[in-house]
Chains A and B, each alone.
Chain A
Amino acid sequence: MKNYRYITDTIKLSIDSDKCIGCGQCITVCPHRVLSLIDKKAVIVDLGSCMECRACETNCPTEAIKSNPDNGCGCAIHLLNTWVAKLSKKIVKKNLSAVKPPDAVPDDTDQHGTDTVGKHIKNIRTPARDKTLMKFVA
């Protein structure tokens, strides 16, 4: 794996030595041998090959390791799609608040914080839509 190196100056990975109990879990799960146990503490020995997979973070019993908190894979197209979705949602919101007074804009998160703005729009039932649906059924 040593002949593969990607952009190294952006990698997010940190260890809180005070929290580390030296169990070695992170070292076992890391697919790139980024970490090592020195004096019963996990240390970063090869930051440049970390792929921010967060396996170490998930497996650390004391939450001593933190990696990139953003969810998602390192896939350019997925990233682009996310950006486009965010941007279009912003535009929709802007237009909504332009039509109605701001307090009438529906909150786009339910009480669990899950995003529902798209679903609201999709699931709105109107007589016209019901008619089209009926056509499909018939």
Chain B
Amino acid sequence: MRSVTFTLKERAVLIPVELVLFWKNLIYMLLTVFLLSALALLMQDKTVAAATAVFYCTVTLLGITCGAVLFPLLLPFLPFTQFWINGALIGGVISALNLLIHPGLSPLTLSAGFLWCTTLSSFMAMNFTGSTPYTSLSGVEKEVKTALPFLIGGTVFTVFSALLGLFLSR
């Protein structure tokens, strides 16, 4: 009788695959950040606009790192069964820490960044269901149905919060 394994090494080799498959989306996201910063430049002074742009780039990259690198590595030690909750957990913790090194931004901008990192990490973690040798199709179906409202909600709130942050903190 054979039995599959899913060791640290086996999980690690999947990380580049995940990242390569995701690069197109990453470009769209960074383009959005670019647009947002252009808007910020119109609304705010230059230093704040630059800090905002750097902040949003950082949270985007952090979110992807949490969900696509940290999540697979930590997989057997994570507390929840559903991948997206674990992804949100890692993303939430890391982005909360990240807020500490970005002082001087408006609370709205900070909360947008926090939400975005968490949502993105959660999505990337959910994406990993396609890479493991033990997730069942029916289980993934259940997971996606549960996660989708939260992921969409997170994204919508991020956009609102980011735009409000731009307009209100002039």
When the two chains form their complex, are residues A75 and B3 in contact, meaning their CB atoms are under 8 A apart?
Answer: no
* Residue in contact with B137 in the complex, picked from A4, A8, A31, A72, CB distance below 8 Å: A72
Interface size on A, residues (CB 8 A): 31
Complex contact A74–B1 (CB within 8 A): no
Which single member of B6, B136, B141 contacts A79 (CB below 8 Å)? B141
A residues engaging B (CB < 8 A)? 1, 3-8, 10-12, 27-28, 30-33, 49-52, 68, 70, 72-80
Q: Which residues of B contact A68 (CB under 8 A)?
A: 136-138
Report how far A77 CA is from B135 CA in the complex, Å.
13
Q: Which of B58-66, B102-110, B123-131 contacts A (4 or more CB under 8 A)?
A: B123-131
Q: How big is the B interface, by class?
A: 20 to 34
A12 to B138, CA, bound (A): 8
Evaluate contact between A1 and B5: CB separation under 8 angstroms.
yes
The distance from the CB of A26 to the nearest CB of chain B, in whole angstroms, is 11
Taking a contact as CB atoms under 8 Å apart, the answer to whether A76 and B126 are in contact is yes
Q: Which residues of B contact A (CB under 8 A)?
A: 1-6, 75-76, 81-83, 126-127, 129-144, 147
CB neighbours (8 Å) of A73 from chain B are 130, 137
Contact of B82 with A7 in the complex, beta carbons under 8 Å: yes
CB distance from A70 to the nearest CB of B (A): 6
- Take A1-B3, A1-B4, A32-B4 as given contacts and tell me if A79 and B140 are in contact as well, using a CB distance cutoff of 8 Å: yes
Which residue of B2, B6, B142 is within 8 Å of A7 (Cβ)? B142
Known: A7-B136, A76-B140, A80-B144. A33 touches B1 (CB 8 A): yes
